[in-house]
Chain A
């Protein structure tokens, strides 16, 4: 399940930053430090993920950028925002 979230996070980042593909993104890639995602882009990313992931509800007030540095830790945070269980 969490790998599905990871994949969705990466797909959404590729869309957000208009990248050609996901080859430059790994779980260790830094959201701000490597990708340059600032608070405005982060907000867009939240909204994109809410569109792309079923049952996902993000309360941005509870997610502070300083709490996740990498794509991997970001995906972990997102996984905690999925309500109920997600069908496989």
Chain B
């Protein structure tokens, strides 16, 4: 039975209202962690109760953004829905974020409340941030009345994702309710199977690829089986939970699946319910797809592509055996409904431009970056080089700048170098990805300046106190012979020798 052909995007407020109402009284689990479950009924009640609380506060009246501090605990879902119901933009912040950066983020987006979505004792420092009250979340709370989502304008912001930027203020990407609803409208087309009974919880909520997991769960009322990233080494335990929970849909970056595939238990015999694998966030490799085809016969493997600035993903394609034998890389697919993709030079290969309702509102308080990245109405300049074939199928060719992805997280190497260069005693530095089996796995920093093991360790320490862990290089080298290139810059192609010849080395551990 289908409803009239209205889209969520035409009325995001009623989307939120109707999906939330659908949770009421449903006692099946919505979110499952290693320590317990949260039912849809409880998610419904507790989020409505928290939204009531938020809406009576000044921040709620003013619809200021709310920081959600947490990783993968049950209160996270309550916090998420409370913000949606209260019409307050939510800002996911992982618990390992240094306090200085947390304050910067709060300042940039004018957030004045933190929701503590952890179940352990909160990271003590967040309690001492002046002007940022921390609210606890009661997952057993019930609302006084039924909650009404406030009216909002089409370009009101639903969530803000902060990405890489290490210099000056962090880059906050604002995504509107209309962008969000337009993405949710796409899901039944992308994943029309009606029998999805469980979804992975692979992705951190600060990374927008998690929206595939969240909204598939919420629109199908299927549980999410959440992966705690601190527990990553225990993939055997996670696979057992996926099997036990009957998960049918995997959403992941290629990096996460590559790790799971290291475990021989990750196969269709152990996980007979698995139906589909959706990828986003990094280039999907043929090796991963071939392994999935072998271990999970008959499952769909879907590749998608999209920058956070265009609301999760904008292209998709079902990968077939023919893609594996083709000369070209795995394609990223064709644009979803309502999205136009073209190259900046109007040829079949160039910088991808993305236009349509998917294009987000843009950056907080960064007018220059905004003007460059969003040159026309509803248009985003991706910085990604891509090619399109005669059938309209796109293939990603690489970044135009020095942005790399590690575990799906966008990292601008220039940005990190500039941050290290500011530190005392550093003359120059080159940051390069640490590659294993052709994949970036961490960062190497090659430092020129006052050299000793101690200065490297203290540089790493300083960076760790100022930046999120994924932006802090793991391997630090100094005291190596530098070779200059024709432009009198450090020749990066000779740096692999520095790993062997460096007099000083430090390994930074989080």
Determine if A39 is an interface residue (Cβ-Cβ < 8 Å): yes
Contact yes or no, A41 B441, CB < 8 A: yes
- Shortest CB-to-CB span from B252 to chain A, Å, is 13
Contact yes or no, B507 A47, CB < 8 A: no
Contact yes or no, A36 B259, CB < 8 A: no
Report Cα–Cα, A30/B442, bound state, in Å.
18
Known: A59-B236, A61-B234. A40 touches B507 (CB 8 A): no
- Shortest CB-to-CB span from A70 to chain B, Å, is 13
Contact yes or no, A47 B441, CB < 8 A: no
Report Cα–Cα, A17/B30, bound state, in Å.
39
Among A17-71, those with CB < 8 Å from B are 17-18, 30, 32-36, 38-44, 46-47, 50, 59-61, 63, 65
Known: A44-B262, A47-B263. A39 touches B232 (CB 8 A): yes
Contact yes or no, B235 A36, CB < 8 A: no
Contact yes or no, A33 B507, CB < 8 A: yes
Determine if B4 is an interface residue (Cβ-Cβ < 8 Å): no
Partner of B237, one of A16, A30, A46, A60: A60
Known: A60-B234, A61-B236. A38 touches B262 (CB 8 A): no
Size of interface on A: residues with Cβ below 8 Å to B: 24
Report Cα–Cα, A33/B453, bound state, in Å.
13
Report Cα–Cα, A30/B434, bound state, in Å.
19
Q: A residues within 8 A CB of B407?
A: 40
Report Cα–Cα, A43/B407, bound state, in Å.
15
Report Cα–Cα, A35/B509, bound state, in Å.
10
Q: B residues within 8 A CB of A44?
A: 259, 262
Report Cα–Cα, A65/B437, bound state, in Å.
23
Determine if B474 is an interface residue (Cβ-Cβ < 8 Å): yes
Q: A residues within 8 A CB of B507?
A: 30, 32-36
- Interface residue SS majority, chain A: helix
Scoring B232, B262, B475 by chain A CB atoms within 10 A of each residue's CB, the highest score goes to B262
Among B85-104, those with CB < 8 Å from A are none
Partner of A65, one of B233, B259, B264: B233
Report Cα–Cα, A50/B510, bound state, in Å.
27
Q: A residues within 8 A CB of B509?
A: 32-33, 36
Determine if B1 is an interface residue (Cβ-Cβ < 8 Å): no
Report Cα–Cα, A61/B113, bound state, in Å.
36
Report Cα–Cα, A44/B263, bound state, in Å.
8
Contact yes or no, B437 A60, CB < 8 A: no
Contact yes or no, A43 B474, CB < 8 A: no
Scoring A38, A50, A65 by chain B CB atoms within 10 A of each residue's CB, the highest score goes to A38
Determine if B436 is an interface residue (Cβ-Cβ < 8 Å): yes
Report Cα–Cα, A36/B259, bound state, in Å.
17
Q: A residues within 8 A CB of B264?
A: 47, 50
**Which partner residue on chain B sits nearest A63 by CB separation?**
B233
Contact yes or no, B234 A36, CB < 8 A: no
0/1 interface trace, chain B 235-274, chain A, CB 8 Å (1 if under): 1110000000000000000000001001110000000000
- Shortest CB-to-CB span from A24 to chain B, Å, is 10
Contact yes or no, B437 A18, CB < 8 A: yes
- Shortest CB-to-CB span from B474 to chain A, Å, is 5
**Which partner residue on chain B sits nearest A17 by CB separation?**
B436
0/1 interface trace, chain B 476-510, chain A, CB 8 Å (1 if under): 00000000000000000000000000000001011
0/1 interface trace, chain B 443-476, chain A, CB 8 Å (1 if under): 0000000000000000000000000000000110
Contact yes or no, A39 B233, CB < 8 A: yes
Report Cα–Cα, A31/B234, bound state, in Å.
17
Known: A17-B436, A60-B233. A36 touches B262 (CB 8 A): no
Among B424-442, those with CB < 8 Å from A are 434, 436-437, 441-442
Report Cα–Cα, A44/B261, bound state, in Å.
10
Q: A residues within 8 A CB of B237?
A: 60-61
Contact yes or no, A40 B475, CB < 8 A: no
Contact yes or no, A43 B436, CB < 8 A: no
Partner of B442, one of A33, A36, A60: A36
**Which partner residue on chain B sits nearest A59 by CB separation?**
B236
Contact yes or no, A42 B233, CB < 8 A: yes
Known: A18-B436, A43-B259, A43-B263. A36 touches B475 (CB 8 A): yes
- Shortest CB-to-CB span from A25 to chain B, Å, is 13
**Which partner residue on chain A sits nearest B435 by CB separation?**
A18
Known: A33-B509, A36-B507. A47 touches B262 (CB 8 A): yes
**Which partner residue on chain B sits nearest A46 by CB separation?**
B233
Known: A18-B436, A36-B474, A36-B475. A43 touches B442 (CB 8 A): no
**Which partner residue on chain B sits nearest A50 by CB separation?**
B264
Report Cα–Cα, A43/B238, bound state, in Å.
13
Q: B residues within 8 A CB of A32?
A: 507, 509
- Shortest CB-to-CB span from A48 to chain B, Å, is 8
Report Cα–Cα, A46/B427, bound state, in Å.
40
> Which B residues form the contact surface with A (CB < 8 A)?
230, 232-237, 259, 262-264, 407, 434, 436-437, 441-442, 474-475, 507, 509-510
Chain A to chain B contacts (Cβ below 8 Å), 12 pairs: A17-B436, A33-B507, A34-B507, A36-B434, A36-B475, A39-B232, A40-B441, A43-B259, A47-B264, A60-B233, A60-B235, A61-B237
Q: Supply 7 further A-B pairs (C-beta < 8 A) apart from A33-B507, A47-B263, A60-B234.
A: A18-B437, A36-B474, A40-B233, A43-B235, A44-B259, A44-B262, A60-B236
Q: List the 9 closest A-B pairs by CB distance, nearest first.
A: A47-B262, A60-B234, A39-B233, A43-B233, A39-B232, A61-B234, A36-B507, A60-B233, A36-B474
